[in-house]
A and B are shown apart, each in its own frame.
Chain A
Amino acid sequence: MTCKEFLALLDDLIDGTVTAETRAELQAHLGRCGHCEVIFNTTRKTIEIYRSHEIYDMPPGLHDRLHAAIMNRCRKC
């Protein structure tokens, strides 16, 4: 397997949507290629970091404003 072929299947490996056979081939490539190993690990880490850190907090008071808007709209229903 070449690095290009590995890269084409990188997402499937990360998302766990590869067959056992393909996974074995990808793992074998990772064992031989330090560059692809770095790309695989750091891409996985990228996703994990964005998943675990809330970078936009909902402003305080927004829920109450929305609630009031819904109540107001509902009165007109």
Chain B
Amino acid sequence: MSTIQLSAGEFEPHPDVALVERVRGGDLLAFDTLVRKYERQIFRISQHITQNREDAEDVMQDAFLKAYEKLEQFQGNSKFYTWLVRIAVNESLMRLRKRRTGKMVSIDEDIETEEGSVPRDLADWAPDPEQNYGQAELAEILRKTIQGLPQGFRIVFVLRDVEGLSTEETAETLGLSIPAVKSRLLRARLQLRERLSRYFRRKKGLKETGVEK
């Protein structure tokens, strides 16, 4: 039987450790607590990868069911959340593969682009640029912008910057080296910045644009 290891020097076990132990003892309510805690994140990650709502719903469901079934395999060397994310990433990539009728899908797709690695748009943004857009319009801009990133950059940005995984956890989850995660993160951030600049740059005054009178 597998046990949960605590790393040396770790005094406070992560609260998930007790929940996982309770699930292993047959407490389904404890699993529901884990679901409620992470379902939004898992749905978002799946949606970011599959870019399809139905697929993301299926992936979320399959990921939690798989986690439940395979809980005995969870060694506790990583956090439960990181383990769950890894399952969701794999399920999402499998779903993409199905949609593309078996064509190979990997997180290394389309990363050979040089776009954004050298910043071109050097215009400053308006202060609080998001205030210039309604909630729905802003969400659409953010969705459209991140959807345009190469898959291998998008996943790294989402895990690291949106969902708050560490560089090490992101590397472990995606099976990448730490330098690879760092390099992709920088390029993802710069590409997103460049693309958002089109919407958020400080608007020129009427005089400068020449439309006055």
Contact = CB atoms under 8 A, between A and B. Distances in A.
Interface of A: 7, 10-11, 14, 35, 38-39, 41-43, 45-47, 49-51, 53-56, 58-59, 62-63, 65-67, 69-71, 73-74
Nearest to B61: A66
B44 A54 contact: yes
B193 to A, nearest CB: 5
Contacts, number: 103
Interface string B185-200: 1100110110011001
A62 B60 contact: yes
A66 B47 CA distance: 16
Contacts of A35: 119, 122
B123 A66 contact: no
A42 B48 contact: no
Q: Chain A: interface secondary structure?
A: helix
B interface residue count range (under 10 / 10 to 19 / 20 to 34 / 35 or more)? 35 or more
Interface of B: 28, 31-32, 35-36, 39-40, 43-44, 47-48, 53, 56-57, 60-61, 64-65, 68-69, 119, 122-125, 129-130, 138-139, 142-143, 146, 157, 161-162, 182, 185-186, 189-190, 192-193, 196-197, 200
A73 B193 contact: no
